[in-house]
A and B are shown apart, each in its own frame.
Chain A
Amino acid sequence: TQLLEQSPQFLSIQEGENLTVYCNSSSVFSSLQWYRQEPGEGPVLLVTVVTGGEVKKLKRLTFQFGDARKDSSLHITAAQPGDTGLYLCAGGGSGNTGKLIFGQGTTLQVKP
């Protein structure tokens, strides 16, 4: 069974601080996606990474896929209150089935 473990589970920081969220597994994934979920809504896709070692930047967010395609990280620079939410990583398996396995999520609170 493929599992994704996220750490930390909860993070509360002040506006302007930097943070990193980790997503780890013992399994290899064909792709890794990050989603952000706000209260009362469904998760929204932020980014997809598919190549080992790949780094993608989305404004103040930097996403990295591990060389072995078993782990990923999300780094936020100068966090803002609008970044508050639940961050979920999701791994895609082989066979292009479309099935994603989600991590438990990291709840981020950014205080003004």
Chain B
Amino acid sequence: DAGVIQSPRHEVTEMGQEVTLRCKPISGHNSLFWYRQTMMRGLELLIYFNNNVPIDDSGMPEDRFSAKMPNASFSTLKIQPSEPRDSAVYFCASSPTGDLLGYTFGSGTRLTVV
């Protein structure tokens, strides 16, 4: 298995532009998670899905952030409009159902908003 695949690896965009981050989870994993990592705040859970259904989006910072999972093999995280404070590394992770088996993380998308 190729693991969790995220794209792009790096994104530089101007303030106000729309940004879309993509994730392909491991086949057969029923849970998908979006995290944001910064030096100041560490890893923050933004939203997670079970069987393609959003379960908890309480970590989504503002209405500017939205996430979708149209099918079991694809998810997007969209920021519109982007702001400099959104600059961070965004990770997608997937897991079989339940927390005992651990997450497999993608390599992340480093977002820089200028």
Contacts and interface: CB of A to CB of B under 8 A. Distances in A.
Contact of A100 (B42, B55, B91, B99): B99
Most A CB contacts (10 A, CB to CB) among B97, B99, B100 go to B99
Given A30-B99, A42-B93, A98 B107 contact: no
A61 B24 CA distance: 32
A99 B108 contact: no
Interface of chain A: mostly helix, strand, loop or mixed: loop
A93 B33 CA distance: 15
Interface residues of A, number: 25
A100 B108 contact: no
Interface of chain B: mostly helix, strand, loop or mixed: strand
Interface of A: 30-31, 33, 40-45, 48, 50, 88, 90, 92-93, 96-105
Nearest to A91: B99
B75 interface: no
Lowest 8 A-B CB distances belong to which pairs? A42-B105, A92-B99, A45-B102, A102-B43, A104-B42, A98-B31, A96-B98, A98-B99
B42 A41 contact: no
Contacts of B55: 97, 99
